[in-house]
C-alpha cells in the first residue's frame, strides 16, 4: 500500500513539474515580449562587454523568447534544456543589474533572480528528486516574502506608523496619477491598518512551510496583494515574480485524477 502511495506521489510530482515548466515558460515568454522594447534599449545601452560586439544583445533577447515555449514542451524528456535557458536568461538580466542604480529598475533584479533560480532548479531535475525541485521553488517564494517582512521591521516597529506609507503614496502620486491611493491613505488609521496587514502577512508565510493546506490561500492572497501593489502603489513585483505562484496551481491540477489538462499533456 505504501508503495502505491509513493508511486502516486512520484506521478504527481512529475506531472506538477511538467505542467509547471510549460505554463511558466510561456508566461515568462509573454512577459519578455511585453517589455521587449524597454529591455532591448536598456540592454544595448548598458552592455559594453563582448556580447554586444560579437553576438548582439537584441538577437540574444529574441532567441530567448523563441526558445522558451519550445523548451517548456521539450522539458519532459530533455530536462537539461532549462540549464541553457537559465544561462541565457542570466546573460539578459545581468544587463539590468548594471543599470540597478536607476529606481525604475530597482524591482527588476529581484524579479529576475527568481526566474533565473526557477530555470536553474528545473534544469537540475536530473540530479535531484522531483519533490525536492518543487520544494526548492516553493521555499524560494516563501523565503523572499518572509525577507520582505523582516526588512520592514528591521529598524523597529516604526514602519507601521502610517507616515511611511503616506510619504510613499505622495511620492508616487505626484509622478503617476493615483488619486485613489492618495485619497484613501491620507487617513492615517487606514494607512496603519494596511501597513500592519502587509507586515503580518509577509511574516506569517512561515506557517505555510509547516502546514501544506495553507498553500492555496497563501498563493491566492499574495496574487491579490501583488495586483494591488502593482496597480495602486506602483510596486512592480507583479510582472515576473508572480508567475512563480503557478507551481501551486500546477500541483493543484496534478492532484486531480481526471484532469483535462493532464490528459492533453499525456498525448503530447
Partner 1 sequence: MLDLKNRFKNDKLFIALILIQTIPVIFEINEWPLTNYPMFSIVRKPFNQIQRLELFAETDSKSKDLKISPFNVKSFYALQRYINDVNNPRVNEMINEKIEYLKGIGDKSIKKISLNKKIFNVIPSLQNPNVLNLEIEHIHVKNYIIE
Residues lying near partner 1 in the complex (CB under 8 A): 7, 10-11, 14, 37-38, 41-42, 45, 100-104, 106, 110, 113, 117, 121, 124, 126-129, 132, 136, 139-140, 143-144, 147, 150-152, 154-156, 158-159, 161, 163-164, 166-168, 170-171, 174-175, 182, 186-189, 233, 235
Choice between 97 and 261, CB closer to partner 1: 97
- Grid coordinates of 171: 511620492
Q: How far is the CB of 19 from partner 1 (least distance, A)?
A: 15
Comparing C-alpha atoms, which of 94, 147, 107 is closest to residue 237? 107
Choice between 44 and 252, CB closer to partner 1: 44
Determine the Cα–Cα distance for residues 92 and 182; give it in Å rounded to an integer.
36
Give the phi and the psi of residue 76 in degrees, each rounded to 5.
-60, -40
Residue 99 is given by DSSP the state T
Q: How far is the CB of 189 from partner 1 (least distance, A)?
A: 5
Choice between 22 and 134, CB closer to partner 1: 134
**Which residue blocks in 75-128 are alpha helix, DSSP H?**
81-98, 108-123
- Grid coordinates of 64: 530567448
Determine the Cα–Cα distance for residues 8 and 187; give it in Å rounded to an integer.
53
Report residue 245 CA to chain centroid gap. Answer: 7
- Count other C-beta atoms under 10 Å from residue 107's C-beta: 18
Comparing C-alpha atoms, which of 107, 105, 74, 71 is closest to residue 86? 71
Q: How far is the CB of 136 from partner 1 (least distance, A)?
A: 6
Q: How far is the CB of 238 from partner 1 (least distance, A)?
A: 15
Choice between 39 and 248, CB closer to partner 1: 39
Determine the Cα–Cα distance for residues 160 and 139; give it in Å rounded to an integer.
27
Choice between 67 and 144, CB closer to partner 1: 144
- For residue 55, what are the CA distances in angstroms to 46, 49, 50, 227? 15, 10, 8, 37
Choice between 69 and 113, CB closer to partner 1: 113
Determine the Cα–Cα distance for residues 92 and 35; give it in Å rounded to an integer.
13
Choice between 30 and 153, CB closer to partner 1: 153
Amino acid at each position: 500500500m505504501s508503495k502505491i502511495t509513493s508511486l502516486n506521489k512520484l506521478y504527481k510530482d512529475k506531472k506538477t513539474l511538467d505542467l509547471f515548466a510549460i505554463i511558466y515558460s510561456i508566461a515568462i515568454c509573454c512577459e519578455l515580449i511585453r517589455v521587449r522594447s524597454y529591455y532591448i534599449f536598456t540592454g544595448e545601452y548598458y552592455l559594453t562587454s563582448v556580447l554586444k560586439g560579437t553576438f548582439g544583445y537584441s538577437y540574444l533577447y529574441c532567441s530567448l523568447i523563441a526558445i522558451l515555449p519550445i523548451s517548456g514542451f521539450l522539458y519532459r524528456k530533455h530536462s537539461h534544456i532549462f540549464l541553457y535557458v537559465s544561462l541565457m536568461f542570466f546573460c539578459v538580466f545581468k544587463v539590468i543589474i548594471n543599470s540597478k542604480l536607476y529606481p525604475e529598475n530597482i524591482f527588476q533584479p529581484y524579479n529576475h533572480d527568481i526566474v533565473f533560480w526557477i530555470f536553474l532548479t528545473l534544469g537540475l531535475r536530473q540530479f535531484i528528486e522531483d519533490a525536492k525541485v518543487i520544494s526548492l521553488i516553493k521555499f524560494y517564494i516563501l523565503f523572499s516574502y518572509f525577507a520582505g517582512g523582516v526588512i520592514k521591521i528591521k529598524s523597529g516597529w516604526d514602519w507601521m506608523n502610517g507616515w511611511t506609507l503616506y510619504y510613499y503614496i505622495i511620492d508616487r502620486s505626484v509622478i503617476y496619477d493615483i488619486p485613489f491611493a492618495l485619497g484613501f491613505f491620507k487617513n492615517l488609521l487606514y494607512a496603519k491598518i494596511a501597513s500592519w496587514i502587509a507586515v503580518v502577512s509577509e511574516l506569517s508565510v512561515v506557517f505555510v512551510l509547516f502546514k501544506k493546506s495553507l498553500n492555496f490561500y497563501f498563493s491566492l492572497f499574495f496574487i491579490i496583494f501583488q495586483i494591488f501593489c502593482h496597480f495602486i502603489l506602483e510596486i512592480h513585483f507583479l510582472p515576473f515574480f508572480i508567475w512563480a505562484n503557478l507551481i501551486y496551481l500546477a500541483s493543484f491540477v496534478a492532484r486531480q485524477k481526471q484532469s483535462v489538462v493532464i490528459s492533453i499533456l499525456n498525448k503530447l
